[in-house]
A and B are shown apart, each in its own frame.
Chain A
Amino acid sequence: MIWNPNKECMSRDEMHSLQGKRLQKLVQYVYHNVPFYRNKMQAMDLAPEDIRSIDDIVKLPFTTKQDLRDNYPYGLQAAPPSEIVRVHASSGTTGNPTIVGYTRKDLAVWSEVMARCLTAFGVTRDDTFSVSYGYGLFTGGLGAHYGVENLGATVIPTSTGNTEKHIRLIRDLKISGIACTPSYALYLAETLEKMGLSKDDIGLRIGAFGAEPWTENMRREIEDRLGLKGFNLYGLSEIMGPGVSYECQEQNGSHICEDHFYPEIINPDTLEQLHGGEQGELVFTTLTKEGMPLLRYRTKDLCTLMEGECACGRTSVRMGRIMGRSDDMLIIRGINVFPSQVESVILEMSEFEPQYMLIVDRQNNLDTLQVQVEVRRDFFSDDIGRMLSLKKQLADKLRSVLSISADVRLMEPGSIERSQGKGRHVIDKRMLK
């Protein structure tokens, strides 16, 4: 099913012309309402009239997370305070949080794009849908919530926390769909099993997972243990929140709602636009946003863009899986390491729980990487030789994937801290020194 075939299946020419018109209007709007952009454009000797089509977007300045911090709290807001009806803030771990104000129209666009995502996942009015992203300043909870309501399904605003109660609700209210982070989905599966229940005791069929990078292995693991089909739901609070892109039943990349969010891939070093499916940093321009519109916002997410009509009938550009974030990338002994690489190795080995922690440190001027994993209860062996060979097997696989050696630590089941929000998998002690 397609929620809005007019937009989702629009011909490429029509889409480009629509994007061009919207970009022209957007540039006029920010030029006259956001001093930050006006100053930048003037410094570049660029006038709003210089933007005539979507291809002219390369002339425009970039926006970074640092710009948002520097203009805290409302410096980049374009709409007057009287038009702002809601504010979200991103979970900034360093420095100022990012404050995003939404107008009434922004919220309408948001629930429109969320309804597109949910429909693509197979959610209908007959579904009962649990939103288990955190409700509050984080965009996940309320963003998904209003999408479910807009679609007409029944929303259960479970938020995070009290997982056992949540599982009872899933069973008793016959909840058929859930939106949450992939790490929370795994935590849910673990709790389900701890309660002596299995996927056969619940009726989940659709999972909308996002807010953190995840892997195909993680998808299989979640699908196996919860008995559902898992879909990627992508978004970021600076641009809107969940609903920026979504997988369809084909699961070959995530369709971008590009009538609202114009995507580009750039080389993060030269800042040049890349084409032809090359991997680089994803950049978004919010074509229709009123509250806090952004020009060419650098997401730090590394991925590729795919053009061409999808077998599902949608024509929109698709983004590939996030291969990492340029800012959670670790450089260990000069080698780039993404936590997602470690994760995929661990998930391939059924002897371990899908929980892990990377401890990066520096000893005698040499970087060290410790990978902590939990041995599954049912794979624990009294034979110390077998345990050591299991440890070695993981260390060997990690070395072949990461190109550096890691010190594997076998931990007791349940001893690595479970995250209910964004998974935290790295402790970099080097930053403390």
Chain B
Amino acid sequence: MTIKQLSVFLENKTGRINEVTKILARHSINMQAFSMAETTDFGILRLIVSEVDRAVEILREANFAVMLTDVVCLRCDNVAGSLSVILEQLAENQIFIEYMYAFAEGEQANVIIRPNDITRCVEVLSDCKCNVVKEF
């Protein structure tokens, strides 16, 4: 019920994100979603990609510090209030969200969540009949 997110450590330097995207492009790996968390001197690029294991391998080969993190991806209607209902459930069940990011396409919206307790989070989401994505 969880999916693997790729996290890449990057120095704050012009062109570093492009280095990652170039390598992925060269190996025909598609990025489905990403977000960037940044501090003054470094950032963490979080990615959902088409072939996660191969992506790890080729990025490590190119000397990047890379790790995999389990995240939950859920799909909801792209209408006002749909995410709020879900987050309400998570809050009621004492699930803390470390970070999340989302993207909408047409009728649907995808939300990627990194909760503090991933097993419990998946349980709560299944109980409330949320559409948890198993694979992209």
- A residues touching B (Cβ–Cβ < 8 Å)? 375, 377, 380-384, 387-388, 409-415
CB nearest neighbor in A for B63: A414
Q: Name 11 interchain pairs, CB-CB below 8 A, sorted by A.
A: A375-B65, A377-B60, A377-B65, A382-B46, A382-B114, A387-B39, A388-B39, A409-B11, A409-B42, A411-B11, A412-B65
The chain B residue with its CB closest to the CB of A380 is: B65
Told that A382-B114, A409-B11, A410-B41 touch, could you supply 9 new A-B pairs with CB distance under 8 A?
A375-B9, A380-B9, A382-B44, A384-B44, A410-B11, A412-B10, A412-B11, A413-B65, A415-B11
Interface string of B29-68 (1 = CB under 8 A from A): 0000000010101101010000000000000100111110
Q: What residues of chain A lie closer than 8 Å to B46, measured between beta carbons?
A: 382
What's the Cα separation between A415 and B9 when bound, in Å?
12
Bound CA–CA A387/B9 (angstroms): 10
Say how far B22's CB is from chain A's closest CB, in angstroms: 16
**In angstroms, how far is the closest chain B Cβ from the Cβ of A372?**
9
**A311 to B27, alpha carbons, bound, how many Å?**
62
In the complex the two chains form, what is the Cα distance from A247 to B22 in whole Å?
A: 51
A411: B residues at CB distance < 8 A: 11, 42
B7 interface residue, CB < 8 Å from A? yes
Q: Which residues of A contact B37 (CB under 8 A)?
A: 384
Q: Mark B75-117, 1 if CB is under 8 A from A, else 0.
A: 0000000000000000000000010000000000000001000
Determine the chain B residues whose CB is within 8 A of the CB of A384 once the complex forms: 37, 39, 44
Question: Is the Cβ of A383 less than 8 Å from the Cβ of B65?
Answer: no
- Chain B interface residue count, CB cutoff 8 Å, equals 20
- B66 proximity list for chain A (CB < 8 A): 377, 380
Chain A residues whose CB sits within 8 angstroms of the CB of B41 once the complex forms:
409-410
A381 and B63 form a contact (CB under 8 A):
no
Q: Which residues does chain B contribute within 8 Å of A415, judged by CB atoms?
A: 11
B39 to A381, Cβ gap below 8 A?
A: no
Q: How far is the CB of A278 from chain B (nearest CB, A)?
A: 42
Q: Which residue of A lies closest to B65 (CB)?
A: A380
**B28: Cβ under 8 A from any A Cβ:** no
Docked pose: A310 CA to B65 CA in angstroms: 47
Assembly CA distance A411 to B64 (angstroms): 11
CB-defined contacts of B5 to chain A, threshold 8 Å: 382
CB-based nearest A residue for B46: A382
Contacts of A377 in B (CB 8 A): 60, 65-66
Whether a CB of chain A sits under 8 angstroms from the CB of B119 is: no
Q: Bound complex: CA of A410 vs CA of B43, how far in Å?
A: 10
- Interface code B1-37, partner A: CB below 8 Å = 1, 0 otherwise? 0000101011100000000000000000000000001
B65 touches A382 (CB 8 A): no
- Beta-carbon contact of B42 and A410 below 8 Å: yes
Alpha-carbon separation in the docked complex, A257 to B72 (Å): 68
Residues on A with beta carbons closer than 8 Å to the beta carbon of B60: 377
B contact residues around A413 at 8 Å (CB): 63, 65
A382 touches B39 (CB 8 A): no
Q: Which A residues touch B69, using CB under 8 A? A: 382
Give every chain A residue within 8 A of B9 (Cβ-Cβ): 375, 380, 410, 412
- Complex CA gap A414/B5 in Å reads 23
Ranked nearest first, the 5 interchain pairs of A and B with the lowest CB-CB distance are: A382-B7, A380-B65, A414-B63, A382-B69, A377-B65
> How long is the Cα–Cα vector from A375 to B7 in the complex, in angstroms?
14
Kindly report which residue of chain B lies nearest to residue A409, judged by CB atoms: B41
- The answer to whether A412 and B39 touch across the interface, beta carbons within 8 angstroms, is no
Task: Give Cα A384–Cα B41 distance, bound, in whole angstroms.
Answer: 12
Q: How close is B111's CB to chain A, nearest CB, in angstroms?
A: 18
Report the minimal beta-carbon distance from B45 to chain A, rounded to whole angstroms.
10
Residues of chain A contacted by B11 (CB below 8 angstroms): 409-412, 415
Closest residue of chain B to A414 (Cβ to Cβ) is: B63
* Alpha-carbon gap, A383 to B71, bound state (A): 13
CA distance A384 to B7 in the complex (A): 11
CB of B67 within 8 A of CB of A382, answer yes
A412 touches which of B7, B63, B98, B114 (Cβ 8 Å): B63
Question: What is the minimal beta-carbon distance from A68 to any residue of chain B, in angstroms?
Answer: 42
Question: Contacts of A409 on B, CB cut-off 8 Å?
Answer: 11, 41-42
Chain A, residue nearest B10 (CB) = A412
Chain A nearest CB from B123 CB (Å) reads 22
Which of A377, A412, A413 is the most central at the interface, judged by chain B CB atoms within 10 Å of its CB?
A412
Q: Which residue of chain B lies nearest to A385 when distances are taken between CB atoms in the complex?
A: B98
Closest Cβ of chain B to A101, distance in Å, is 45
Decide: B64 and A412 in contact? CB cutoff 8 A. Answer: yes
B-chain residues with CB within 8 Å of residue A375 when the two chains form the complex? 9, 65
Complex: A414 Cα to B9 Cα, angstroms: 12
Report the minimum CB–CB distance from B18 to chain A (whole Å): 14
Separation of A377 and B10 alpha carbons in the complex (Å):
12
C-alpha gap A414/B63 in the complex (Å):
7
What chain B residues lie within 8 Å of A381 (beta carbons)?
67
CB nearest to B16 among chain A residues = A412
* A-chain residues with CB within 8 Å of residue B7 when the two chains form the complex: 380, 382
In the bound complex, residues from chain B placing their C-beta under 8 Å from that of A410 are 9, 11, 41-42
Q: Which residue of A lies closest to B98 (CB)?
A: A383
Residue ID in chain B nearest A194 by CB atoms: B63
Q: Which residues of chain B come closer than 8 Å to A414, judged between CB atoms? A: 63
